[in-house]
Amino acid sequence: MKTTVSIIGLGLIGGSLGLALKRNPKIHIVGFDRSYATADEAFRRGIIDTVAPSAKSACEQADFVVFATPVNTTVALFEEAVNWDFKEHVIVSDTGSTKKPIMDAAKVLQEKGITFIGGHPMAGSHKSGVSAAMEHLFENAYYILTPSETTTEEQIDVIEKLLSSTKAKLIVLQAEEHDRMTAIISHFPHIVASSLVGRLAAQEEQQPFVKKLAAGGFRDLTRIASADPVMWRDITIQNREELLSQVDGWLDEMNSIRAMLEDNNPEHIFDFFAQAKTYRDQLPSTNEGAVQGALYMTFDLHIDVPDHPGVISEITKILAEANISLTNIRIVETRTDVYGILVVSFQSATERKRARQVLTAETDYSMHVL
């Protein structure tokens, strides 16, 4: 007999989860999305086996339910779901990037005897929607589970077995701990990147050429500022307390840096940069097989190529013949802090590694991974 898993919300995350779970032939996927066109595409692609007419219907026939909707939507659905008839031993989860609001909202379900275990697969893509869903999206990425105080080890084991087909690295954390860590390495950096872009925009009127100079390292440094503003508005509101703590720490750090600049002590300034370099160089790299972290990243290969007609088509032809897909390609003009004039992006570290091997065999270009 097959286990029924219902996925509410069939975007990039929900769709990719459906594809990953269907690696297990004993799983039957029921899907619901408020967009019928999205649900229909998910069915036609084989992401789900059945299209549910409503979220209520999807939940009531499932052994497992995963809400793959934005956090605010999930919270609202929980308020409705308290009146739905779930199976007796159902386990409910979600995929939201902030856990404390979700865990608080889920208490209404737990009071009905429903087991809820929060979830956050730390993976993403430069594309969105069900059309971008990938079976391998969660492979070698952290997938955080946040149980409640009443969750048993047996219940955690059950959901871990279900999610094993995602090939993600399953980690159990408390919701508060999760939100604090994601604030440090994901949410707060988005605020910093956006503020740096704001500083650039504010000074462009007096220095119009500065925007062109920003096409190099500055553009890469602030890449995450291009993320969906609606999503990041919601994340900022949901994780407000942790972000306020990070901002306070950042202001203290900036005051220390300001004092360092005023003192103008060469030794202290050197130590500042040297210590940052040492710590940063010790961070795990996906090029070395490390697990993908909380910040969605592109897998870039910087290639030193000569500036002559046809060089880009030469690179893309070699990659196409090796059946390697790329997600983006661009020429870098300002290269004081970026290696390589050509930056090619891939969907995974594995694809980037293959590309580097193929290009090394076919060309004599120098290549770098930052």
Number of domains in the chain: 3
Q: Is 128 contained in some domain? A: yes
Contact by Cβ (8 Å): 86, 114 = yes
**Whether residue 272 is found in the same domain as residue 359:** no
Residue 114 belongs to a domain? yes
Task: Return the pLDDT at 153.
Answer: 96
Percent of all residues in the chain with a pLDDT value above 90, rounded to a whole number: 64
Q: Given this model, what pLDDT does residue 288 score?
A: 47
Give the H or E element holding residue 218.
helix 217-221
- 70 lies in the same domain as 22: yes
Q: What is the pLDDT of residue 217?
A: 73
Q: How far apart are CA 33 and CA 13, in angstroms?
A: 12
> And the tokens for 104?
């608080």
Higher local confidence (pLDDT), 71 or 294: 71
Most confident of 12-16, 208-212, 287-291: 12-16
Structural domain ending residue among the three candidates 286, 317, 336: 286
Which residue, of 253, 286, 319, is where some domain finishes? Answer: 286
pLDDT attached to residue 336: 47
pLDDT tens track for 65-94? 999 999 999 999 999 999 999 999 999 999
Is residue 292 a part of any domain in this protein? Answer: no
Q: What was the pLDDT predicted at 136?
A: 86
Confidence (pLDDT) at 26: 96
Confidence at 59, pLDDT banded by 50, 70, 90: very high
Q: How confident is the model over 311-368, as pLDDT tens digits?
A: 888 888 999 999 998 888 877 654 444 445 788 888 777 888 899 999 989 888 888 7
Q: Check which CATH number belongs to the domain holding 142 and give it.
A: 3.40.50.720
- Do 66 and 121 belong to one domain? yes
Is 11 in the same domain as 99? yes
Task: With respect to residue 63, please indicate whether it lies within any of the assigned structural domains.
Answer: yes
- In angstroms, the CA 251 to CA 249 distance is 5
Is residue 293's pLDDT more than 60? no
Residue 291: inside a domain:
no
CATH number at residue 341: 3.30.70.260
Q: Tell me, yes or no, whether 184 and 162 share the same domain.
A: no
The pLDDT value given to residue 189: 93
Region 48-54 average pLDDT: 96
Taking 90 as the threshold, does the pLDDT of residue 95 lie above it?
A: yes
Q: Which residues are 8's β-sheet partners?
A: 32, 67
- By C-alpha distance, which of 300, 285, 297 is closest to 367? 300
Measured CA to CA, the distance from residue 24 to residue 49 in angstroms comes to 13
Indicate the residue among 173, 198, 219 that finishes a domain: 173
Q: What are the residues whose beta carbons fall under 8 Å from the beta carbon of 171, sequence distance 6 or more?
A: 142, 143, 144, 145
Share of the chain above pLDDT 70, in %: 92
Residue type, 137: L
Mean pLDDT value across the chain: 89
Same domain, 168 and 245: no
Question: Does 29 fall in a domain?
Answer: yes
Which tens digits make up the pLDDT trace of 223-253? 888 888 988 999 999 999 999 999 999 999 9
Give me the domain span that covers residue 160: 3-173
The whole-number pLDDT of residue 312 equals: 85
Q: Are residues 277 and 364 in the same domain?
A: no
Between 363 and 212, the more confident residue is 363
Are 131 and 213 found together in one domain? no
pLDDT, position 51: 96
Q: Please check whether residues 141 and 56 belong to one and the same domain.
A: yes
Residue 140 lies in a domain: yes
| Residue 228 shares a structural domain with residue 345 | no
Average pLDDT over residues 32-49: 96
Does residue 293 fall inside a structural domain? no
**Are 12 and 154 contained in the same domain?**
yes
Pairing of β 3-8 and β 64-67: parallel
Is residue 295 pLDDT above 90, yes or no? Answer: no
What's the pLDDT at 62? 96
The answer on 361 and 250 residing in a single domain is: no
What CATH number should be reported for the domain holding residue 281? 1.10.3660.10
